[in-house]
Amino acid sequence: MNLIGEGKDDTTIDGSVADNVIIITADKVTITGFTIQHSGDVFPKAGINISSDYNVISKNNMTNNFYGITMFHASNNIISENSITNNDHCAIYMSVSSNNNIYDNILKNHAFNGIGVYDSSDSNNITENTMINNNFCGVNIRISSNNNITGNILTDNNIGIHVPSDKYGNHISDNTFSNNKNDIEKESGMPIFELIIAVLILVCLTVFILFWKEKSHKKTSTSKDTKHYLDARGKPCPIPLIMAKKKITKMKKGEILEIITTDFVAKENLERLGKEKYELI
């Protein structure tokens, strides 16, 4: 199946900020010659969403999408000679996607990555691309193995290339770096994002324990030791009301006063007092 435009400067597919602009679920699809823009603005909406194999995406302009291209369980695809710029998050996001060839693209001006390689996306070839001004990484590889990153130009990124530890066997060679804050960042030990998650879990657990202790303390504070009794049986109103007010002045905040009265008018006045000035339980 082929979807061929008259040229990326002449043919536009606009997603109207609603969903993925193009979704590819069949194998062996070719898309070339378009400007693809305005996908929906939540993850994982993209100019092109791929979940199939052996597709060719070439000579397109992808701009002003949430992601330029997202790939999920997508293998043996070719992404080449595209201009993927000014998308919100990443130019290309890959998850569980292997053996893809990504070459000769311009990946520029993204809040996160030029290319994000995640979740066992293995044995991809990322070659001869130009990655400029991506605010996190030009290429960001996480928990993925045997990827080949070679011959790329990486300029004005926060990090040129982030790679996992050597045990993942990714190959980095012959790339040109300029004006990145860090050209190559390699994980040692626990990856920083996993460390952040571990810290967040620890903080949440600590907050939960403190909340539980505070709640238990509040339950204890309403036990028999903080409960007072007033027996006003046989006493006509307003005597029970006067006795209650006097008793309350000696109580601390949060303590409970239980009143027993046989006078109907006193009962109504005590309930009114509870509702107006205190908490009637």
Is pLDDT larger for residue 194 or for residue 68?
68
- pLDDT above 70 for 265: no
For residue 229, what is the domain's CATH number?
Answer: 3.30.110.40
What is the domain extent for residue 228? 222-281
151 shares a domain with 60: yes
171 shares a domain with 88: yes
For residue 116, what is the domain's CATH number?
Answer: 2.160.20.10
197 shares a domain with 173: no
- pLDDT above 90 for 210: no
200 shares a domain with 121: no
Percent of the chain as helix, strand, coil, to the nearest 5: 20, 40, 40
The angle that helices 239-248 and 264-277 make with each other, rounded to 10 degrees, is 30
- Least reliable range by pLDDT among 56-60, 79-83, 235-239, 252-256: 235-239
235 shares a domain with 143: no
pLDDT digits (tens, 9 = 90+) for 13-37: 999 999 999 999 999 999 999 999 9
- Least reliable range by pLDDT among 55-64, 104-113, 180-189, 246-255: 246-255
Q: Classify each residue of 50-70 as buried b or exposed e, where b means 16 or more C-beta atoms within 10 Å of its C-beta.
A: bebbebbbbbbbbbbbbbbbb
Tally the domains of the chain: 3
Mean of the pLDDT values across residues 238-261? 80
How would residue 199 be classed by pLDDT, with cut points 50, 70 and 90?
confident
129 shares a domain with 152: yes
151 shares a domain with 109: yes
- pLDDT above 70 for 271: yes
Cross-strand partners of 61: 35, 83
Mean pLDDT of the chain: 88
228 shares a domain with 204: no
CB 34 within 8 A of CB 57: no
40 shares a domain with 166: yes
25 shares a domain with 159: yes
133 shares a domain with 28: yes
Residue 112: predicted pLDDT: 94
84 shares a domain with 33: yes
